[in-house]
A and B are shown apart, each in its own frame.
Chain A
């Protein structure tokens, strides 16, 4: 099996190997911050920043890694860039930083990032690692936005805080509460699986 090229890495992260819908990684953040689109997009951007920086850093030092110390180095790298992202948000987007609360620092333990360091950045060059990081974080952001779009409009009748549905819409409050996250995620996951099953069926025929 040959290693995927930069272009393949990028494309795969978006849909074929989508971190949320295919790899089922980073679900804690996914469920927690998707009750409105603003938080979802901010979270996606924070993960993009951390993943690109961490993948690039790990890729540059990949020849120096030793098998038994690599996880320590991944964690150290990720924690550093997450802290930078957290401080940047607090300085320039203070209301978002407050709204996301502990979920920004918790990116440190988000499995998507350590997974990409291990699978791609520790084995391939900087260009491929950055392409992989971009693909995976765009895939993650798309997944967050898809969940948030459903939850915010059903729960509050709004998108990005602007009213979309008429004021007569009876807000389904449950959609912005934790149960709404599970319901929406389950339904969307089922939908993506159904679509790929349909497409696989067509290819066979």
Chain B
């Protein structure tokens, strides 16, 4: 009888090819190819629009962080050039995205895009600086996930507006209880950590890029 068992196992007409995993999975493979092509098509069609959305989101904020021209007569549009600036200091390397804003080929200011750790998650900010990089001209929070109602106030105009006009030479200091002056920033009540996180990001950015930008300001447009 052993030979008979062997014939059932191997000579069964359905056995040998129907058990092949590739054949059984033909529909899965076919769908994977069809869906893959569909997704490639969608990405090709929408990719540029998505990249534009990301870039425009940042660039649309740049004019708000650059002071208006001295003479109201100037109607020249701001032109923005973007480059990456890696800075190594104290054993770490940070990469800053520098937006150079100019009007009529004349430097109008700098906007530095940088991210750092907040209370809840990463905070990404735009920091506006004067052409000589000696005065902060504005701050905008691009992305944050701080506590709604408390830390999230870092993104609101009353708080972030405090940064405009501060000198860039001294490190900024967060104080509680209000009445900030000079290089001080009022903490948000109930969100000292978020306030300090943004201020630390600003201080670190200033320390890293200020000299470089002041030097670049002396040179002609790139």
Contacts and interface: CB of A to CB of B under 8 A. Distances in A.
Given A73-B31, A77-B35, A94-B50, 15 more contacts: A61-B27, A64-B27, A72-B28, A76-B28, A76-B32, A76-B35, A80-B38, A83-B39, A84-B39, A91-B46, A155-B149, A173-B147, A173-B148, A173-B150, A176-B148
A87 B46 contact: yes
A177 interface: yes
B46 A90 contact: yes
A76 B53 contact: no
Interface in A63-104: 64-66, 69, 72-73, 76-77, 80, 83-84, 87-88, 90-92, 94, 98
Interface in B1-38: 24-25, 27-28, 31-32, 35, 38
A59 interface: no
Nearest to B31: A76
Contacts of A173: 147-150
B94 interface: no
Interface in B53-92: 53-54, 57
A178 B22 CA distance: 46
Instruction: Please give me the 5 A-B residue pairs with the lowest Cβ-Cβ distance, nearest first.
Output: A173-B149, A94-B53, A80-B35, A91-B46, A91-B49
Contacts of A30: none
Interface of B: 24-25, 27-28, 31-32, 35, 38-39, 42-43, 46, 49-50, 53-54, 57, 143, 147-150
Given A76-B35, A87-B42, A177 B147 contact: yes
Contact of A87 (B50, B147, B150): B50
B186 to A, nearest CB: 20
A66 B28 CA distance: 10
A106 B47 CA distance: 21
Contacts of B35: 76-77, 80
Given A84-B38, A91-B46, A73 B148 contact: no
5 contacts: A76-B31, A87-B43, A87-B50, A171-B149, A173-B149
A84 B150 contact: no
Given A64-B27, A87-B42, A87-B46, A176 B32 contact: no
Nearest to B48: A91
A121 B147 CA distance: 42
A35 interface: yes
A90 B25 CA distance: 33
B24 A69 contact: yes
Interface string A185-205: 000000000000000000000
A77 B43 CA distance: 17
A73 B42 contact: no
Nearest to A84: B42
A66 B24 contact: yes
Contacts of B49: 91-92
Nearest to B43: A87
B59 to A, nearest CB: 13
B147 to A, nearest CB: 7
B28 A73 contact: yes
Contact of B149 (A66, A77, A88, A176): A176
A177 B152 CA distance: 12
Contacts of A155: 148-149
Given A80-B38, A87-B46, A91-B53, A177 B148 contact: yes
A35 B198 CA distance: 25
B31 A90 contact: no
A120 B43 CA distance: 31
Nearest to B41: A84
Contacts of A84: 38-39, 42
